[in-house]
């Protein structure tokens, strides 16, 4: 994971940098089973006491919100330059 952002809370727009460590753990568990591409984004929501995938997109489908675009661009550029 390079960056994370929260963008909704109770159906209201609320852009926050980062996310709870439990969301990262959930995403990493998903990625241990399936990775759709070398560079991609996952939208995860919490409903009740469980996490769910809302959508999984290519990077250009990402809204970025407050995820730290500088780190994203730096790391993706570095990755692409090394392949």
Residue whose token pair is 């089973």? 33
pLDDT of residue 60: 83
Helix (H), strand (E) at residue 25: helix 21-31
Structure tokens at 29: 């568990």
**% residues pLDDT > 70 (the chain):** 100
Answer yes or no: are the C-beta atoms of 75 and 41 closer than 8 Å: no
Q: What is the pLDDT of residue 41?
A: 93
Q: Report yes or no: 41 and 62 within 8 Å, Cβ to Cβ.
A: yes
Q: Which residues of the chain have pLDDT under 70?
A: none
Distance CA 73, CA 79 (A): 10
Note the pLDDT of residue 61.
75
Q: Where are the domains of the chain?
A: 5-82
């Amino acid at each position: 994971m390079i960056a994370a952002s929260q963008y909704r809370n109770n159906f209201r727009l609320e852009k926050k940098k980062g996310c709870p460590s439990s969301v990262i753990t959930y995403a990493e568990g998903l990625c241990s089973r399936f990775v759709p591409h070398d560079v991609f984004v996952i939208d995860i929501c919490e409903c009740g006491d469980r996490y769910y995938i809302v959508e999984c997109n290519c990077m250009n489908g990402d809204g970025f919100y407050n995820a730290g675009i500088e780190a994203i661009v730096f790391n993706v550029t570095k990755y692409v330059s090394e392949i």
